[in-house]
Structure 1
Amino acid sequence: MKIIPKLALAAVLATSVSGVALTVPAAAQKKKEEAGGLKLSPEALKAAQAAQPVLQQKNYAAAEPLIQAVETAAKTEDDKYIAAALRYELESGKLFAAQQANPNAPIDEAPLAKPLDALIASPSTPATDKPRYVYRRGALAFNGKQYPVALKYFEQAKQLGYNDPNLPMLIVKAKMEMGDVAGANADLAAAIDQMNASGQKAPEDYYKYAIGRANKSKMVPETLSWMRKWIAAYPTAQNWRNALVIYGLQPGSLATLDKNQRLDLFRLMRASKSLADQNDYMEYAQYATDKGLPAEAATVLKEGMATGKIPAGNATAKAMLAAADAKNKQEGSLAPTEARAKSAGDGKLAALTGEAYYGQGNYAKAAELYRLALQKGGIDANEVNTRLGIALAAQGDKAGAKAAFDAVQGSPRAELAGFWKTYLDTQA
């Protein structure tokens, strides 16, 4: 997420007191007071008139004693408002100048707290100005890692109608830092939905932030949910690969997958065009070989070579391809096996034959045999429904594929089916 840089809003949130005319003639001052304007005591007005031009010149050292004089002279609520406004502008200017002079130096924003608190509490503060003071006070607390205080001010700013694109995410971050992960996730989801509904696409960093925090908190279902939302919103090949590797392929992944489940994950990587390099292609081909699917192994290796992701001089890949082609020719037609599967007492051979047809790219036949396997029973229904969905997805039958994936139950198959459904949702 993009954090608001300290003092980035100093210029925007300045009180603009240096632009207030404090030298108006007595008659005009009287009219202003009658209209409900500021009513400064003579002592405070005189001190403020002396401080104002020096502050405008950004001569902060000289302005310090002059503003102290305003603070000393302040007696009425209006006097105290002007004193706080001038003090805030002085402290903001000093910090901004220091940051400009040395961007890497540590910044102490604590001097801003007292004048901001006074401006927020003052009945003389214009109603139009109070929301930004409240927001700035929240940002001050947030920068100081005072997250409960920050949340209080951010929510108050929101209630006051303050409109800043950073505000929803700052509320989320404050809640997250306080340990309210569920509340933060709910707020973030609502903010994303609102942005998307308004036609403004939510930033990718919002999703990445949610994934990182949910994963850090060991909230696996929430992590998976955010990962699917992320790749649904930003379905690039790189994002697909990152999500699927984190889910089930890297050490310490979110799910522990067996070879059959990894094969179906690699099939999703192929469908989403997220096989990245020779290792991906060769690992996929090895799983297909181990499963007894030489045609699929050969197809994958040839695709890797054609795209250049498997280098032309890779002897291991060439040997794997030669072995797969030889095995595929040796097996011959699947028609006799299909006939035996249809007359078998259970669906085991039908499921295996469906796999073989899928490996050959005959997705219609694969789906037919998978359905036969489910009808006959005696098989792992979750695995066969996953593969039925994959075969139907390959044919472009989204509705049929989703129905098959919806029938998949239990971890990790249900999560794997969920990724496949997300893939279908991203397809035109």
Structure 2
Amino acid sequence: MFGDVAMRLRFPALPIILVSAVAFWLSAVQIAVAQSNSSTDPDILAAYVYRYADYYLPYAIQASTAYNPVGTLNAMRDAGLGGEVDYAVQSAIPASQEDLRGHARKIFKPWRYQFGSDAYLDCIEWTDACKAAYEKRGWDFGSGPTYQVWARTRTAARGACSEVSIAFRGTMGLSGGDWFSNFSRFGSPYDDYYKQLQRNIDTIMKQIQSLDCYRRAGRKPQIVSTGHSLGAGLAQFVALATKSRGPRIAKVLAFDPSPVTGAHLVNKALLAENAQGLVIDRVYESGEVLSYARAAVQEYPRSSSRCNPQVRTVEVKAARGSAVGLHGMELLATNLADLTYNDGNPLGYRAPATQVGNCGIIYRPDSDEEMIARDGNRRFGGLGPVYARRAGRLVASYPVKPARLGGNARSGSHKQNGESRAGVTTSVASNAFALATGSAFGSTPLPR
């Protein structure tokens, strides 16, 4: 709901207050319950998240990059030089953390951008179903959900990919489309992002299946979705709303997610079908603003769901600061990159447990490919819950700059004459309040 605050203008305090005030909407929501710590519980406590940071980091990078222009990524894809990898890492991790950028590049190296959109979605393909839904649409505001599709290439198979990810952007500035979509749960008369995706997600899935790397794969790649804040809500929605008889979204990686999942738009039979075997990992920085809304009330599925879908809560407790400052995607991505180290040494790759209890799931971690890509013979060597490279490291504590109205500056890009130019990194502001008021509400890491 509240997008990445680093380098991007965010709506100030009023919407946050409104979100808190309307957190208790009246129907089709379920109260969250406290998480258990039993052996059958998939949740990951903050003290142990360092074990899996290497697994979550590529998706965090994608969720952060989703705030950047699709056109820039299209140009890099067409050049065929793999420049989108470095661009994505620069988008997720600030220039002040160049050592972390270097490690993140190695982790993100197997991924390549495929296609995306940041325009209003009428009908990507004018099927009868999409046309009928479009004709019944509400008012539109000329903007649509921004999403970027990435594919993880197989090291042992030429041109084939093992996994495809759809990354959704969170809220940008004062965009009416973003904010009306944030409040979709209240029955907005607008053709919001959830409704646009509902009539187009099957076509997006067909586009994924037509990718060259998908068709070349001997074992069909699995499809996942990810995003931050509003984007995390959209990522959950498409997993619940896909109608095609082809492959389904197997897993959702939702960062600082909105409590709105769009489940109210999906008929119960389809919802139950798509929930079978689905895994949702909700990854958040402890104390970030939307964690309070999720703790109070959630739209389906509730965080206590252990099967169909399996919902995993993953707490990252790596910084302290204001609730809004802790919500930034760049902060979370940078801290996940930092947690892949222990006292200067990179940790080995480990995926979270996929089989919890007797719940059958359709997602499979591509461990063989990951281990090859990451030189996975490294071991943890009896590490305890102390997981930082060095104490007192100022992770994602950025200098505050006054708001620059009329534009959204982005990490790793610079607007010049209306065009985005990659490779130029501009200064970073700490969060929405700092951007709006020029005051410091920065976030600093906890001692480790």
Common fold: TM-score over 0.5: no
Q: Which has the higher helix share?
A: 1
* Larger Rg over CA atoms: 1
Please tell me the TM-score bracket, short chain as reference: under 0.3
| TM-score (normalised: structure 1) | 0.20
Q: Which has the higher strand share?
A: 2
- Structure with the larger RCO, 1 or 2 (CA within 8 Å, 6+ apart): 2
